[in-house]
Amino acid sequence: MIIKQLSVFLENKTGRINDVVHALGANGINMHAFSMAETTDFGILRLIVSDVDKAVEVLRAKDFAVMSTDVVCLACDNVPGSLAVVLEYLAEEQIFIEYMYAFAQADQAHVVIKPNDMEHCLKVLEAHHCRVLGKDEL
């Protein structure tokens, strides 16, 4: 299942991440997962949130540049080598991973990936009985 991820573009300035998370929290929006990447001049905060539409509205009202992107979130056992198996399935089918990030909860790891070919990626994961998570399972 495809889920929506938000990308928030932030200037490299003290307190900007705090401004984002405060705005989301003040509006009852939960962050399920996030990743921060930076360059010299700006950063990209990638978020999986409880209410995408409301988060976009709230952040744009605060003058943040926000973009929504389709991603896949899969669950795998939180043991050594389990992610390697899944990534091998994708590599064998020439699916390029543009970026990914993960978080673990007890015996499960949740991995968010942005593949170059979303539909093919989902078919490969399904064919190998990989557990792809929906928005309500995060």
Per residue in 28-44, pLDDT tens? 999 999 999 887 778 99
- What percent of the chain stands above pLDDT 90? 83
Identify the residue whose tokens are 């401004």. Answer: 19
As a whole number of angstroms, the distance between CA 46 and CA 61 comes to 18
Across 43-67, average pLDDT: 96
Instruction: Please state whether the predicted TM-score (pTM) of the whole model is above 0.75.
Output: yes
Beta bridge partners of 69: 5
In sign, the C-alpha dihedral spanning 72, 32, 39, 62 is positive
Beta bridge partners of 54: none
Residue 55 burial (CB count, 10 A): 25
- CA diameter of the chain: 46
Which pairing describes strands 131-133 and 108-115: parallel, antiparallel, or unpaired? unpaired
As a whole number of angstroms, the distance between CA 56 and CA 129 comes to 33
Q: How many residues does the chain have?
A: 138
As a whole number of angstroms, the distance between CA 56 and CA 96 comes to 28
Q: Looking at residue 105, what is its pLDDT? A: 84
Strands (E), 12-121: 31-38, 42-49, 65-77, 97-105, 108-115
Q: Looking at residue 138, what is its pLDDT? A: 77
